[in-house]
C-alpha cells in the first residue's frame, strides 16, 4: 500500500457532507490536504497546521479550478491526488424541469471536474503515483426507474466517460483514476428526493470516505476503474 505521509490531496466540496467526511478521514490517515470550498471562511474542525490549507473553489466558475490547484501546489510543493467530490442535484426529468437546471448541473458536475483534472494532471504525472477519484453515482451507471433524477444521471454518466479518458491519459505516468459510484448517502444532497432510498437504508458519509482512503493508497498494480457501492439490491449493480 502507498503511504499517506507527505502526500498531498486536493478535495473539492470539502466544507460539508461527503467532502467533509473525506477530508477528516484522509487527515486522520496522515495525508496533507488542499481543501477546495466556495467559502474558505467556513472551515472544518480539523487541527490547525501545515498539513491543511483552504482555497476558494467554485466549480461553476471557469477560472476557479486552475487557481485552486495552483495555490495548492504553491502551498504544499506538490500534488499527489485529486478528489472531485463537489456536485449538485437539481430537479430535471424527461418531461419536467427547466433547462437552466440542467445547464447548472452540467457546469458543476462535469465541467468543474474536467477543469480540475486539466489543471492537476501535470502535477499528478510528476508525482509518479498520482491518484484521481471522481465521485460519480449509481445514477451514472443506469436509469433506475421513472423517478430517477434524469438530469443528474446524465451528468454522472458524463463523469464516468471523463474518468475513463483520464485513466488512459495518465496511466503511463503512474496516474490511476477511479469513478466511485455510491448509492444513497445520508447528506443534504438527496433530502426530499423522490424515489431515494429511505433514510434508514442510506450509507453514512464516513463509509464512502473510508473507500476513498483505500483508493488513494492502493499500489499502481491495483487498477480500479469503477467502484460501485450500492445501498439497494439490483441485478447488475
Residues in a beta bridge with 52: 33
Sheet with 52-56, edge to edge strand ranges: 52-56, 32-37, 8-12, 81-84, 131-135, 176-182, 226-229
Looking at 64, 152, 170, 231, which residue is catalytic?
A: 152
57 carries an active-site annotation:
no
User: Angle at CA 73, nearest 5°, toward 205 and 128?
Assistant: 80
- The residue written with cell numbers 483514476 in the block is 177
> Are the beta carbons of 105 and 89 closer than 8 angstroms?
yes
> Are the beta carbons of 90 and 105 closer than 8 angstroms?
yes
How many whole angstroms separate alpha carbon 91 and alpha carbon 97?
6
DSSP per position, 163-199: HHHHHHHHGGGT-EEEEEEE--BSSGGGTT-TTPPPG
Query: Which residues are designated catalytic?
Result: 152
Amino acid at each position: 500500500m502507498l503511504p499517506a505521509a507527505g502526500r498531498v490531496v486536493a478535495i473539492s466540496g470539502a466544507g460539508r457532507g461527503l467532502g467533509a467526511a473525506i477530508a477528516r478521514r484522509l487527515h486522520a490517515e496522515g495525508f496533507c490536504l488542499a481543501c477546495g470550498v466556495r467559502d474558505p471562511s467556513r472551515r472544518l474542525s480539523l487541527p490547525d497546521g501545515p498539513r491543511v490549507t483552504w482555497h476558494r473553489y467554485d466549480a461553476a466558475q471557469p477560472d476557479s479550478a486552475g487557481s485552486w490547484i495552483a495555490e495548492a501546489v504553491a502551498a504544499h510543493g506538490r500534488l499527489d491526488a485529486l478528489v472531485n467530490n463537489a456536485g449538485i442535484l437539481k430537479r430535471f426529468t424527461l418531461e419536467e424541469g427547466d433547462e437552466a437546471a440542467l445547464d447548472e448541473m452540467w457546469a458543476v458536475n462535469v465541467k468543474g471536474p474536467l477543469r480540475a483534472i486539466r489543471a492537476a494532471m501535470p502535477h499528478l504525472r510528476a508525482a509518479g503515483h498520482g491518484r484521481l477519484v471522481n465521485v460519480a453515482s449509481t445514477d451514472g451507471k443506469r436509469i433506475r426507474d421513472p423517478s430517477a433524477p434524469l438530469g443528474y444521471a446524465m451528468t454522472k454518466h458524463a463523469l464516468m466517460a471523463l474518468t475513463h479518458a483520464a485513466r488512459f491519459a495518465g496511466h503511463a505516468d503512474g496516474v490511476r483514476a477511479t469513478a466511485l459510484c455510491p448509492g444513497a448517502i445520508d447528506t443534504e444532497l438527496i433530502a426530499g428526493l423522490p424515489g431515494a432510498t429511505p433514510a434508514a437504508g442510506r450509507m453514512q458519509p464516513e463509509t464512502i470516505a473510508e473507500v476513498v482512503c483505500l483508493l488513494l493508497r492502493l499500489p499502481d498494480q491495483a487498477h480500479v476503474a469503477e467502484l460501485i457501492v450500492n445501498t439497494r439490491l439490483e441485478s447488475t449493480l
